[in-house]
Structure 1
């Protein structure tokens, strides 16, 4: 179903990003990334109080491929 979209201002798009307005059949990524971080790393906001007495991040990854990327073009 078509949509009516007003003004759009794009400041920045990453190298492997996808920007779409309107109908789309399929959007596929061209790259993947994995992020490891400790407890409370991605908390955002005002007045946070994070108490991590013991924090350990397990970075062992036994599987070889987490998200396969296939070029369908």
Structure 2
């Protein structure tokens, strides 16, 4: 459904983001990233108590491509 949009100021749009104003059928943000984190890194909440006596993150990746995005358009 069409809409009237007033003034818009875009300060920053990251490389994997999509900025849209108006009607759209499909949006395909295309980006990829790989995150390595040790134990207890992504804990969220209140009163978290994490004890890691020994923590090692294996960052070795034998394959070159995990999920190709070449034809995801």
- Which category of TM-score, normalised to the shorter sequence, fits these structures? 0.5 to 0.7
Q: Does 1:65 align with 2:65?
A: yes
Bigger Rg over Cα = 2
Distance apart, 1:24 and its partner CA: 4.9
Using the size of structure 1 for normalisation, the TM-score is 0.63
- Which residue in the other structure is 2:54 paired with? 54
Q: Distance in 2 between matches of 1:38 and 1:29?
A: 28
- Give the superposed CA RMSD: 2.7
CA contact (8 A) 1:29 1:69 kept: no
- Which residue in the other structure is 2:34 paired with? 34
Structure 1 unmatched ranges of 5 or more:
1-11
Structure 2 unmatched ranges of 5 or more:
1-11
Distance apart, 1:47 and its partner CA: 0.7
